[in-house]
Amino acid sequence: MKRLMWAFVALPLLWAQEEGRSHTNVPVRRTPIRPATQAPEQEEVVIMETISGKVVSAKGEAQKSVRIWFVDRASGRVLGETRTDDKGNFAMAIQHADTIIVRMSREGKEFSESMYSLSELTRSDLELIFEP
């Protein structure tokens, strides 16, 4: 009879100890609460424009391996950079800007720079003339 009473007393105590151990190793994750008065942050919308065309010489010959930088005239920030293929073609997606400076270089030795409006650069028959 004493053993049976001991089992009724000891079993709940062991169970309570086991419960305490299992909860001590569980990591607690606290999520910060945002005050109701704080407005959610607004997302920035970036408008991208696709520019594609061909780089040619003054004689109309395709210019391969010409490096092209598109620079926002207002901020001086480089919007994108690409290189022409073997046929002088290029394509690039850049952030919207009103006036763009197009800098071109071949092998870091010959340079050319021209200014264009975005509407001029997004034409379907765009040809940029590379005259170092």
> What does the alpha-carbon distance between residue 90 and residue 87 come to, in Å, rounded to a whole number?
9
| Residues in a beta bridge with 34 | none
Query: Which pTM value belongs to this model?
Result: 0.65
Please, what are the domains in the chain?
48-129 (2.60.40.1120)
> What does the alpha-carbon distance between residue 89 and residue 55 come to, in Å, rounded to a whole number?
6
Q: What is the pLDDT of residues 26-43, one digit of tens each?
A: 566 666 766 666 666 788
Please say whether the beta carbons of 82 and 89 come within 8 A. no
Q: What is the pLDDT of residues 51-82, one digit of tens each?
A: 999 999 999 999 999 999 999 999 999 999 99
